[in-house]
Amino acid sequence: MAAVLFDFSGTLFRIESTESWLRAVLADSEVPLPEAELIRATKELEAVGALPGGALPSKPVPDDVARHWGIRDQSSELHRAAYTGVSRQVTLPDPELHDRLYDRHMAPAAWRPYPDTAEVLGALRERGVAVGVVSNIGWDLRPVFREHGLDPYIDAYVLSYEHGIQKPDPRLFATACDALGADPRDTLMVGDDRRADGGAAALGCGVHFVDHLPVAERPDGLRPVLDLVG
């Protein structure tokens, strides 16, 4: 393989838990919330799928949000509207907390790389394999990579909101291959979403899936990539 494309959330990095996300925003906002209410709000936020990169909604998305939920990664405006829209189903002590929660999920501190992310990216760099990040996302994730010291390993970022296209559309993967100067037939796509990331196969890319698990539960899920690259 001449190049490897990686998904971001659930593949190279994992977002913090919903409880940690809410606690951080309450602390920064200096908004008190009794523990029982905090736990209630945490469960409700998780049920509606309010945390980007977290669990998908387990209850119906409101009608006014549903019309753009499926295309939320095509622009930053749609992304914010979708996630704050589902978040507002949950009662919080201050309505402004919904936007602050959205802002928090974009902070580098809200994300942790998987234990073997640096190891695998570093090994690919040593082998001369080009690396790209292809993500369905509504904001610039580059600061997350810079903050965690991983930006030097990435040759190209192809983000859905910057192109108005989202996976599994083959055009997004084609854009990434072009940016790396790589033939799709010599490129491996690594991701956690079989539908979205599997779209790379339409171009002739190899595809490898990892499990979207908490960081502590997936210590070496990326290492098989090194064997696949050869």
What pLDDT is attached to residue 108?
98
For residues 66-84, give the mean pLDDT: 97
Average model confidence (pLDDT) for the chain? 97
For 51, 94, 118, 138, 159, the CA distances from 149, given in Å and listed in that order, are 24, 35, 9, 22, 19
For 42, 97, 98, 228, the CA distances from 48, given in Å and listed in that order, are 10, 16, 13, 37
Q: pLDDT tens, 187-217? A: 999 999 999 999 999 999 999 999 999 999 9
Q: Map residue 195 onto helix, strand or coil.
A: coil
What pLDDT is attached to residue 146?
98
Q: Report helix, strand and coil shares of the chain as percent, to nearest 5.
A: 50, 15, 40
For residues 60-71, give the mean pLDDT: 94
**Position 221 pLDDT exceeds 90:** yes
What pLDDT is attached to residue 14?
98
Q: pLDDT tens, 9-42? A: 999 999 999 999 999 999 999 999 999 999 999 9
What count of other Cβ atoms lies within 10 Å of the Cβ of residue 95? 9
189 closest CA partner among 216, 158, 218: 158
> How deeply is 197 buried, as exposed, middle or buried, from its count of CB atoms within 10 A (0-12, 13-18, 19+)?
buried
Show Cβ contacts of residue 124 under 8 Å, excluding neighbours closer than 6 positions.
4, 131, 153, 225, 226, 229
What pLDDT is attached to residue 3?
98
Sign of CA dihedral 116, 166, 54, 101: positive
> How deeply is 119 buried, as exposed, middle or buried, from its count of CB atoms within 10 A (0-12, 13-18, 19+)?
middle
| DSSP H helical ranges for the chain | 18-29, 35-48, 63-69, 76-87, 97-105, 117-126, 142-147, 160-163, 170-180, 224-229
Q: What are phi and psi of 168, to 5 degrees?
A: -90, 15
What pLDDT is attached to residue 140?
98
For 24, 116, 195, the CA distances from 223, given in Å and listed in that order, are 32, 7, 22
6 closest CA partner among 161, 229, 230, 219: 229
pLDDT band, residue 230 (cuts 50/70/90): confident
For residues 97-119, give the mean pLDDT: 98
